[in-house]
Amino acid sequence: MPRIAIVLSPGFQMMCFAAISAFEVANVAAGEARYDITLLSEDGGLVKNTLGAGLETERFDDPGIFDTVITGGLMMPKPSSDGLIAFLRAAGGACRRVASICTGAFILAEAGLLDGRRATTHWLFARDLKARFPRVRMEEDRIFIIDGPIWTSAGMTAGIDLALGMIENDYGAELARVVAQNLVVYHRRAGGQSQHSTLLKMDAKSDRIQNALVFARQNLRLPLSVEQLSEAAHLSPRQFSRAFRAETGQTPARAVENLRVEAARLMLEQSRHTLDEIAIENGFTDRERMRRAFLRAFGQPPQTIRRAARLGADA
């Protein structure tokens, strides 16, 4: 049974416990203990978070007794103690996995565990990390990244995606799916997914327009005409078009194209499907229409984006 150690520093950000809950729920969903979870700190005892509430921890010593060591992030990155750095360096050589949530990546970088590796963190701090630790191959627009034994995640809720990825890696996709369902995670995101969601950017105000967008995201293979979308929103086509543009600043056609491009890019980077298959799966009809959409969105054709993703993975 994997032993998971969560390393906390004074002023840790509370959202890291959302990720811990995924391992806890995995035990419940499996009907037996699949993970043993321990809270650690340098001195042990009570460690206070950003809100001033304290949690009891054990004093860290030998990292070799743990399968996975995860360091939680701080609201604002700051230099780590020599003891914490030494512990994480030792964990890098003794544990199967070492991971960070959010700005915890700064701590791994201080320990030298990210040197020469691909990594991510909260987009607000990504450029700062890259400037302070130039040997880190920062990818600031990813939910989480696995580079060998090192896992790093973006901010806040991305820690849940990282934990679900570990559960899938350990026990398979079905348990990870059940855990996500129990956590009421609406959509389990893959590590390569962008931190910036097209649905979030459109920021629909009403439930009706949100329902239409969700319908579109789940049915990209369909033509997704205004009539189909307005039916999902329970509005007339004229009412729908007017309300959609007022709430999102886009036409329905442009919004659907943006959703298709986002989904197609993820498939390009993470699957071996052909360009024709990806185009059909995401409603572009043919690869030429997909190519033109990619040029509008990214200034690059799909082949270039796939090639860059593969080169990054190989490196």
Domains and CATH numbers, the chain: 3-182 (3.40.50.880), 197-315 (1.10.10.60)
Residues labelled catalytic = 102
Model's pTM, two decimal places? Answer: 0.66
What is the residue-level pLDDT of the chain in tens, covering all 315 positions?
899 999 999 988 888 888 889 999 999 999 999 999 999 999 999 998 878 888 899 999 999 999 999 998 888 888 999 999 999 999 999 999 999 999 999 999 999 999 999 999 988 888 899 999 999 998 877 888 889 999 999 877 888 989 999 998 999 988 988 998 888 775 555 545 454 456 556 667 888 998 899 899 889 999 999 999 999 999 999 999 999 999 988 999 999 999 999 889 888 877 889 999 999 999 998 999 999 999 998 888 999 888 877 765 555
Q: What is the 3-state secondary structure (H, E, C) of the chain?
A: CCEEEEECCCCECCCHHHHHHHHHHHHHHHCCCCCEEEEEECCCEEEEECCCCEEEEEECCCHHHCCEEEECCECCCCCCCHHHHHHHHHHHHHCCEEEECCCHHHHHHHCCCCCCCEECCCCCCHHHHHHHCCCCEECCCCCEEEECCEEEECCCCHHHHHHHHHHHHHHCHHHHHHHHHHCCCCCCCCCCCCCCCHHHHHCCCCHHHHHHHHHHHHCCCCCCCHHHHHHHHCCCHHHHHHHHHHHHCCCHHHHHHHHHHHHHHHHHHHCCCCHHHHHHHCCCCCHHHHHHHHHHHHCCCHHHHHHHHHHHHHC
